[in-house]
Structure formats: structure tokens, C-alpha cells
Structure 1
Amino acid sequence: MSAPGDQERRAGYRRLLGRLPTVVWLTVMWALLWGDLSPGTLLAGAGVASLCYAAARLPHLPVRLRVRPVFVLRLAARIGWDLLWSSVQVAFRVLWRPARVRGAIVAVPMRTDSDLLLAMVSAGLSLVTGSLVIELNRDQGVIYVHGIPIDSPEAAQGLRRRVRHTEELFVRAFGTAEDVAAFEAAEEEFAELLRSSPDSGGDGGAGKERP
């Protein structure tokens, strides 16, 4: 039989390992929000995540992910392209006619209900120049993204399509089988809604122009 001290140590190790995925995830989110993956940023993020975890006395939350390498590569390529193209586009507009650069807040219905995946989508969108997630309404399942430049309904629809495509890539890259199945069911329901409402604009949501 194991000594009581050994059992307590093993229980402590299990608690530590159970909390480690959440701390790692918070560290990754810290680095993504800062847009910097340097060792100093990761170390600071790990320290902040550990302190917040200890201070808030957070319960153990299972991090349920399934990594699919093909979709991870597609996601990385998509975000890389969006970073490059949006940076060029925003720089050109700002240098060419800065007074005519306009933005818009675009509402996009989400098809996944996973808090973890929604956090990943929000962080991925905010990394791209010219787009910033300003609100995530969990009750309605809608994400609000501010985009620049948005100077026409077509540009707003383009941003909406990009958000939805990014969401799909995150779900298929990291979602569990249940997440993917729920996403596909919501996508089919949304598509059926669009087919029955031809005047909905094709992508749902609304854009509000801001100067």
C-alpha cells in the first residue's frame, strides 16, 4: 500500500496536470492578443495565466481539442494570406486617400457554440490588420467585427464571408467530432433559412458604416 504522503503527492500532480491545459491555452491567447510569440511574451503570459488561475480559484475545465494537420495548414495559410493582403490594402488606402477611409461594424451569426473555438476565432480575426472583434454575443450567437476599409455593401459582405470561412477552418482544424457535427448541422439550417429568405442578402447580419 502507498503511504498517505505518496497519495497526496500523486493527487497534487494530477491536479497540476489537470490545470496545465487551461494555463497553456490562456498563455497562447495572451501571445495571440499581443501578436508576439517571443519567449518573453510567452513567459509573461504563463505567469499572468497562473496568477489569474490561482487568484480566481478557477475549477478544472477540460480543454477538448482534436488537431487535424491538413486543416491546421489550411488555417495557417488563410491567416497568413489575410495578414499580407489586408496589410497591403489598408496601407494603400491610408496613404492614397486617408480622408476617405471608412470602416463598418459587421454582425456575423456564428455556427459553432463552443466557447473555446469562439475564443480562437476571435483571436484569429483580431490578428489580421483592419479587423477587430468588438463584441461576442453568446446569447444570440453573433460576433461583431469592425473592419477597415469598408466603403460599400459588397465590402461588408466580403468581410462577413471571411469571418465565416475563418470560423469554419478553426472548427475543422481543432474541433471535436461533436463540434464539427454541430457546426455542419447549424450550417445546413442556416443554408435552408437563406433558401427560404431570398432577400436576406446571402450571408446574414448587418453592417453599420462608421466614419
Structure 2
Amino acid sequence: MSPTRKWLPGRASAVRVGVLLWLTIVWLTLWGDLSVGNLVAGLGVGTLIMLTLPLPRVPVSGRLHPLALAELIVVSSYYALESSLQVAWFAIRPAPPPVSGVLRVNMSMKSDLVLVLCADVLNLIPGTMVLEIDRERCVFYVHVLDVSSEAAVDTFYRTTRRLERLLISAFERPAEWRSTRTTANPEVNP
């Protein structure tokens, strides 16, 4: 390592600073008062949290693609709004509640981080909740509010596939991916 490289902040340092700033912002928001004392206390509490409750390192490979991320944000916001209206309609319509069920979704993501982001995006869509993730087989089990027809099930799968494609294109394009994860069973290819 060159002497100049030693002083440049790396990705890990940038993440630590970002987490500390985020924790400080949360502290300030909870107190509802922007003052020097609250800022210093937020930095202190954030540092204490980071030292006493460290998060495990998540291997990150590839790079962020801003245009694909912007499309992902727009599309997932649209799906969340559309689902909210659907759930509201189910609540006020003069009919029995829809048939709900658990559907299995096979995913093709390579990164644990992107897999968790996908679960988070699916959980943000009203009417769906990821119940279980089988990482070895890369499978989600998702509770879906409406599985009363083939069209409703197909719509769910189309939505999930589109979100998966957008997440892969935003975070783990195949040309940039190098696997940092090792599996217990090398024959399993997620």
C-alpha cells in the first residue's frame, strides 16, 4: 500500500461516517431541537452505538448505477401507491375480503445485500409481506393479500420480476459482479 493511499478514506470509512451521520440525524429528529448540545449528544450516542453494537460487515461488489436506481425508486413508489389504493378498496368495498395466500418466488440475485433490499421493497408494498427467505436456494415466501384469481397471482409475479430486474440493474450487473459469498454446498447455484 502506498503512503498516500493510507490516508485516503476507503469505502468502509465512508460507510462508518454515513452511519454515524444517520444516527445523529435520527437523534436530532427524536429530540426535535437542533442545538449544539443535541448535535454533540447525537454524535456521542451514535459513536457509542457503533462501538458497542457493531454490525457485521456485508461484502459489497460492483457499483451503484444512478439511472437504474432512479427508475427503481419511481417504479417501487408507483407499486406502493397502486397497492395502497387496492388495499383501501378491499377495505371499503361491499364484498367479502379477498383470498390471501403465501406464494413462493425464486430470485436470481447474487448479493445478500441486494436480496435484503428486495425483501425490504416487497415489504413496503401494502398487501405483501416477505415471511421467509431461503438464501441457499434464493427463494422468498411472500404473503400476498389477493390471490383470488390467476390474474392477481400473475400481477404479483410480474411486479416481483420487474423489481428484481431493476434491483439487479441498479446494484449487481453481471459484468461487474464478483462473488464474495461462499456457500456450504457449492452445487447450489442461486
User: Smaller-chain TM-score range?
Assistant: 0.5 to 0.7
CA distance in 1, matches of 2:125, 2:21: 19
2:29 maps to which residue? Answer: 40
Letter in 2 for 1:135: E
CA distance in 1, matches of 2:117, 2:96: 33
Identity rate, percent: 27
The residue correspondences of 1:16-95 to structure 2 (distance < 5 A) are 18=12, 20-21=14-15, 24=18, 40=29, 53-55=50-52, 57=54, 60-95=57-92
CA distance in 1, matches of 2:173, 2:19: 16
> Is the 8 Å Cα contact of residues 62 and 178 (structure 2) preserved in structure 1?
no
Decide which of 152, 155, 164 is 1:155's aligned counterpart. Answer: 152
2:182 maps to which residue? Answer: none
1:122 maps to which residue? Answer: 119
Shift of 1:169: 0.2
Task: Please give the root-mean-square deviation of Cα atoms over the aligned residues, in Å.
Answer: 3.9
Decide which of 100, 103, 121 is 1:103's aligned counterpart. Answer: 100
Shift of 1:80: 1.5
Judged with a 3 Å threshold, the aligned counterparts in structure 2 of structure 1 residues 88 and 59 are, in CA distance, closer, same or farther, namely closer
Shift of 1:25: 7.1
Deviates more, 1:18-27 or 1:64-73: 18-27
Shift of 1:59: 5.6
CA distance in 2, matches of 1:176, 1:77: 20
Structure 2 length-normalised TM: 0.66
Judged with a 3 Å threshold, the aligned counterparts in structure 2 of structure 1 residues 98 and 63 are, in CA distance, closer, same or farther, namely farther
Structure 2 SS opposite 1:78 = helix
Structure 1 SS opposite 2:96 = helix
Higher normalized helix content (fraction of residues): 1
Shift of 1:126: 0.9
Letter in 2 for 1:21: V
CA distance in 2, matches of 1:27, 1:116: 21
- The total of aligned residue pairs comes to 161
Shift of 1:91: 0.6
Shift of 1:154: 2.8
Shift of 1:24: 4.4
CA distance in 1, matches of 2:104, 2:45: 32
Structure 1 length-normalised TM: 0.60
Shift of 1:77: 1.6
Judged with a 3 Å threshold, the aligned counterparts in structure 2 of structure 1 residues 27 and 137 are, in CA distance, closer, same or farther, namely farther
Shift of 1:103: 1.4
> Is the 8 Å Cα contact of residues 102 and 142 (structure 2) preserved in structure 1?
yes
